[in-house]
Amino acid sequence: MMVTATAQRPAPSTDEAPVLECEDISRRFRVKSRLFHAPEFIHAVNGVSLSVPRGEVLAIVGESGCGKTTLAKMLLGLLKPSSGTIRFSGAPINEAPRAVIARQVQPVFQDPYSSLNPRKTLGQIIGLPLLVHQIGRPSERPKQIAEIMDVVGLPPYLVHAYPNQLSGGQRQRVAIARALVMKPEVVICDEPTSALDVSVQAQILNLLQDLRRDLNLTYVFISHDLSVVEHMADRVAVMYLGRLVELGETGQIFDRPRHPYTETLLKSILTPDPGQGLPSFHVDGGFPDPLNPPSGCYFHPRCPKILDECSRSRPGLVSDEYGSVECHLHQNEAIT
């Protein structure tokens, strides 16, 4: 498929406990139950396991309904998993107080317009974490705020400005500053550039890369834009209807995808190559109903490489040194 050029990026460290670990986490939501019927559930996230070493950028890709937003909320400690454990640097966070989790993981959201309180100044917005956690003396906080604003590229006089006076790119920088002011270890980026113009997106992505390197951050990078993912991520996790169907290094995923859904996703990337035309797809039934998922492998009704057992049984997870995949096609093999 595509030949990817790797860059000179410091390799994620592997000699300590992974900074973030998810062990078979699930989250279900009760759907409005009717009288006299058993309650129905949607399994927004269904048995996901991940292990993220410090310094890595792990991308989570998938289309709407795949569960990535729910997963992000669980990683932020905003939702408790229905089952399974999440660990930060080895310590489980299931019972940890919100304040402890907040110092370790912070979000950057998609919409720069709704992620900043329109009634607060930048100084108040960025300073909120310091206030909540009583970090430093009150007299020192303006300095900390000024420092982080400098790091993200915001001129210092903006500290008294309000969000409505800023451009989309500037607002996103504010969101990043707020996320970083407490020096967390992990940043969950949920489509951080999808709502920005292309030229601004490039600025913010460059900034995120610089920050990761300078502050030794770890990113969980959720995006639907596979070109951006290919550029930013060390490893990619592909989700479908709440399950993690493939996980691997970026080069591996983009050059030699194993799961048919991954292949489908990659096929739909529209690179700016004129003359290559549009990918051809057979018209399929569309995304399945999360309340009533297909039997066996969730992807089987849309899968171009379906086997007999795909509709009967759910494939198990196969892990090797390249990553993992949940597919009957690869049930018994290890890739070279």
Show contacts with another protein in window 30-89 (CB under 8 A). 63-64, 76-78
Q: How far is the CB of 23 from another protein (least distance, A)?
A: 22
Residue nearer to another protein on the CB measure, 8 or 336: 8
- 326 Cβ contact list (under 8 Å, min separation 6): 243, 244, 245, 246, 259, 297, 314, 315, 316, 317, 318
Quick one: which of 106, 218, 252, 262 contacts another protein (CB under 8 A)? Answer: 106
The pair of three-digit structure tokens given for residue 42, joined into one six-digit string: 């949607």
By CB under 8 A, the residues from 150 to 179 that bind another protein are 150, 153-155, 157-158, 161-162, 164-170, 173, 175, 178
Distance, first Cα to last Cα, the chain? 16
By CB under 8 A, the residues from 240 to 279 that bind another protein are 250, 254, 264-265, 267-279
The pair of three-digit structure tokens given for residue 302, joined into one six-digit string: 């849309």
Q: What's 311's DSSP letter?
A: G
3-state secondary structure of 66: coil
Quick one: which of 224, 301, 309, 330 contacts another protein (CB under 8 A)? Answer: 224
Given a contact cutoff of 8 angstroms between Cβ atoms, the answer to whether 155 and 170 are in contact is no
Residue nearer to another protein on the CB measure, 82 or 121: 121
Q: How far is the CB of 281 from another protein (least distance, A)?
A: 5
* Number of residues binding to another protein, judged by CB under 8 A: 95
Binding segment for another protein among 13-21, 94-102, 138-146, 307-315 (CB under 8 A)?
Answer: 94-102
Count Cβ neighbours within 10 Å for each residue of 93-111 and write b for 16 or more, e otherwise. beeeeeeebbebbbbbbbe
By CB under 8 A, the residues from 312 to 331 that bind another protein are none
Q: How far is the CB of 316 from another protein (least distance, A)?
A: 25
Given a contact cutoff of 8 angstroms between Cβ atoms, the answer to whether 188 and 139 are in contact is no
Which whole-number Å values give the CA distances from 118 to 7, 150, 181, in the listed order?
39, 22, 20
Residue nearer to another protein on the CB measure, 72 or 318: 72
Q: How far is the CB of 9 from another protein (least distance, A)?
A: 4
Residue nearer to another protein on the CB measure, 78 or 334: 78
24 vs 76: CA distance, rounded Å? 17
Given a contact cutoff of 8 angstroms between Cβ atoms, the answer to whether 245 and 259 are in contact is yes
27 vs 78: CA distance, rounded Å? 12
Q: How far is the CB of 332 from another protein (least distance, A)?
A: 28
Q: How far is the CB of 143 from another protein (least distance, A)?
A: 17
Q: How far is the CB of 211 from another protein (least distance, A)?
A: 12
Query: For the chain, what is the radius of gyration of the CA atoms?
Result: 21
Q: How many helices (H) and strands (E) does the chain have?
A: 9, 12
The residue type of 225 is: D
Q: Does 215 bind another protein (CB under 8 A)?
A: no
Binding segment for another protein among 4-12, 28-36, 311-319, 327-335 (CB under 8 A)?
Answer: 4-12
